[in-house]
Amino acid sequence: MLRKIFSALALLAGTTLAAQAAGDPVKGKNVYKRCAVCHTDDKGGGDALGPNLFGIVGRKAAIRPDYAYSPPLKAANLTWTEANLAKWSAGPARMVPGTKMFFAGITSKNQQADLVAYLATLK
């Protein structure tokens, strides 16, 4: 009996951790407010100080035609996977030294996951 209870608790804990790892797009929209200082997220919208982020998940980096990306980001040959976006949100200059994006980064892994989950809804 005790074994069944522990097994159920372990399964429940694993499910909760997996859900946290996936991120919460509702919370991510709130985290995105930090990004919205420089970026837009409107479908068909223009760029601001930073490029528009609509449709970012799965897109090659540095491809918006009218945005002046830094040479290091162009040379990085990145695709914005969810893993790369999480890493980027933790500190762009650590991921691509010399990038022109001046942002210290988001230290919370949960907030990184939430942000990426929100960005994934922009399609």
Per-residue pLDDT of the chain (123 residues; tens, 9 = 90+): 545 544 444 444 444 344 345 999 999 999 999 999 999 999 999 999 999 999 999 999 999 999 999 999 999 999 999 999 999 999 999 999 999 999 999 999 999 999 999 999 999
Question: Per the domain annotation, does 60 fall within a domain?
Answer: yes
Residue 109 bridge partners (DSSP): none
Give me the number of domains the chain comprises. Answer: 1
Question: Per the domain annotation, does 63 fall within a domain?
Answer: yes
Q: What is the CATH number of the domain that holds 95?
A: 1.10.760.10
Question: Per the domain annotation, does 74 fall within a domain?
Answer: yes
Question: Per the domain annotation, does 10 fall within a domain?
Answer: no
Question: Per the domain annotation, does 114 fall within a domain?
Answer: yes
What range defines the domain where residue 59 resides?
24-120
| DSSP letter string, 49-101 | SS---TT-TTPBTT--TTS---HHHHHH--B--HHHHHHHHH-HHHHSTT-S-
Q: Which helix (H) or strand (E) holds 15?
A: helix 2-22
Q: Say which residues have a Cβ less than 8 Å from residue 14's Cβ, sequence separation at least 6.
A: none
Q: What is the pTM of this model?
A: 0.82
CA–CA dist 85, 113 (Å, integer): 9
